[in-house]
Amino acid sequence: MEKFRAVRIFEEDGKFVKKLVERDIAELPEGEVLIKVKYSSLNYKDALSCIGNKGITRKFPHTPGIDAAGIVADSKSEEFKKGDEVLAIGYDLGMNTDGGFGEYIRVPADWVVKRPEKLSLKEAMIYGTAGYTAGQSVYELVTSGVKPEDGEVLISGATGGVGSHSVRFLSKLGYDVVAVVNGETEENTALAMGAKRVISREEALDNSGKALLSQKWAGAIDTVGGATLSTMVRSIKFGGAVTTCGNVTGAEMPGITVFPFILRAVKLIGIASAYSSKERRRIVWEKLADEWKSDKLQMGIKEVGIDGILQEVDNMLDAKLVGRVILAHE
Ligand SMILES: NC(=O)c1ccc[n+]([C@@H]2O[C@H](COP(=O)([O-])OP(=O)(O)OC[C@H]3O[C@@H](n4cnc5c(N)ncnc54)[C@H](OP(=O)(O)O)[C@@H]3O)[C@@H](O)[C@H]2O)c1
């Protein structure tokens, strides 16, 4: 029976304890595809799973890691064969199904896509769930009909994971991106990523209660929800679109009525990247691999081994983490 190393979170006397353990492959959950994980990445959801957040993980012991990229070690699916290089993100991976913080995962074939030719396994994990979600948001905005010549596109949370990739992709596609930022450091970051200009969080908010505001943006990508999303919807130009994926500032949309939709034909597009169809994932990953890929993708990346990932989890929880952490398995 082959042994492998994995981070494991145990619930002991009401406390959650993080350990690096040795496991048997036979202990992994049922699934059609066994993957030898080469890379994973650290996401906030992983950190929450490590401290026993039941909104993320209900069953312990558990191995976090919502992103994984590796090589098929065994497959009961005709779609994949031993040796294929594959990616698995989303669905239940790392939530209640053992994830990429272990050297092996076993998952349903539906969760797996083949690595695009022009994207390495490591690059795929640099994108991870945040990059993929940005890719899907941009894809939906573009296919909804918003074109560069229609005007500026607003992005909230523009220096966060989803926002920063969205800024890069849309700038690369020739859109005039306006980034919502908080302070000078974020302003410089957003401009360096390709934003044409920035506005403050306050400028992105309207609390007047008006059902319609002046038409400013051809489109918008929102990552924060709440009043920011509401203000975007009310200030989109006729026929434009907004994508929504997060709720860090609130789950409600105060002041939203039907008027932006029935008088301005505004489209509000929901992003649930964890459950996007296999075909959509294939299309978006191909874009990330080629047309939308930045030559600066590897900038600001810290690579650690399985021995170092728990320290990075603590750093993330203590808000001491700068940049993105990639877990490289041996
Ligand atoms: N629906 C999906 O498929 C999907 C997939 C992935 C993620 N998400 C969600 O999308 C959201 C963004 O994810 P992420 O990975 O980009 O997170 P992130 O890296 O933590 O970025 C969050 C961004 O929001 C900004 N922000 C925080 N508080 C704010 C406030 N009060 N007003 C305005 N902006 C604020 C942050 O700015 P500072 O850095 O200055 O704090 C940061 O730019 C999260 O809610 C996440 O759960 C959804």
Would you say the CB of residue 50 lies under 6 angstroms from ligand 1?
no
Q: Is 247 helix (H, G, I), strand (E, B) or coil?
A: coil
The answer as to whether 285 is a domain residue is no
Would you say the CB of residue 193 lies under 6 angstroms from ligand 1?
no
Q: Do 208 and 136 belong together in one domain?
A: yes
CA dist 57 and 246 (Å) reads: 19
Q: Residue 185 sits in a domain of what CATH number?
A: 3.40.50.720
The answer as to whether 292 is a domain residue is no
How far does CA 287 lie from the centroid of its chain?
Answer: 15
Residue with tokens 């489109």: 219
The answer as to whether 31 is a domain residue is yes
Q: Do 19 and 103 belong together in one domain?
A: yes
- With residues binned 3-state (H G I as helix, E B as strand, rest as coil), the percentages for the chain, rounded to 5, are 30, 30, 40
Q: Do 269 and 305 belong together in one domain?
A: no
The answer as to whether 192 is a domain residue is yes
CA dist 288 and 134 (Å) reads: 10
Regions of the chain with pLDDT less than 70: 1
Would you say the CB of residue 20 lies under 6 angstroms from ligand 1?
no
Q: Do 60 and 11 belong together in one domain?
A: yes
The candidate with the shortest Cα–Cα distance to 89, out of 248, 250, 278, 240, is 278
Q: Do 51 and 11 belong together in one domain?
A: yes
CA dist 111 and 126 (Å) reads: 19
**325, containing H or E segment:** strand 324-328
Q: Do 159 and 260 belong together in one domain?
A: yes
Q: Do 315 and 213 belong together in one domain?
A: no
Q: Do 36 and 166 belong together in one domain?
A: no
The answer as to whether 319 is a domain residue is yes
Question: Under a CB-based contact definition with an 8 Å cutoff, are residues 134 and 146 in contact?
Answer: no
Would you say the CB of residue 133 lies under 6 angstroms from ligand 1?
yes
Q: What pLDDT, on the 0 to 100 scale, is given for residue 303?
A: 96
Q: Residue 91 sits in a domain of what CATH number?
A: 3.90.180.10
- CA nearest ligand 1 atom 21, residue: 160
Q: For residue 225, report the phi and psi dihedrals to the nearest 5 degrees.
A: 75, -160
The answer as to whether 33 is a domain residue is yes
Q: Do 161 and 203 belong together in one domain?
A: yes
Domain with 65, as residue range(s), is 3-118+298-328
The candidate with the shortest Cα–Cα distance to 16, out of 49, 41, 55, 46, is 49
Type of residue found at 53: N
Residue with tokens 């390709």: 194
Which of 41, 223, 243, 280 for a ligand 1 pocket mutation test, highest count of atoms within 8 Å of Cβ? 223
Would you say the CB of residue 223 lies under 6 angstroms from ligand 1?
yes
CA dist 296 and 298 (Å) reads: 6
The answer as to whether 278 is a domain residue is no
Q: Do 222 and 251 belong together in one domain?
A: yes
Which of 159, 198, 224 for a ligand 1 pocket mutation test, highest count of atoms within 8 Å of Cβ? 224
The candidate with the shortest Cα–Cα distance to 107, out of 49, 28, 4, is 28
Structure tokens at 172: 């690369």
Q: Do 148 and 268 belong together in one domain?
A: yes
Q: For residue 226, report the phi and psi dihedrals to the nearest 5 degrees.
A: 60, -145
Long-range CB contacts for residues 260-265, cutoff 8 Å, separation at least 24: 260/211, 260/212, 260/233, 260/234, 260/236, 263/212, 264/212, 264/215, 264/236, 264/237, 264/238, 264/239, 264/240, 265/238, 265/239
Number of domains in the chain: 2
Q: What pLDDT, on the 0 to 100 scale, is given for residue 1?
A: 63
Q: What pLDDT, on the 0 to 100 scale, is given for residue 102?
A: 98
Side-chain half-sphere exposure of 22, counting CA atoms within 13 A: 3
Report CA(137)–ligand 1 centroid distance (Å).
Answer: 14
Q: Which atom of ligand 1 is nearest to the CA of 274?
A: 3
Q: What pLDDT, on the 0 to 100 scale, is given for residue 91?
A: 96
The answer as to whether 290 is a domain residue is no
Q: Do 51 and 91 belong together in one domain?
A: yes
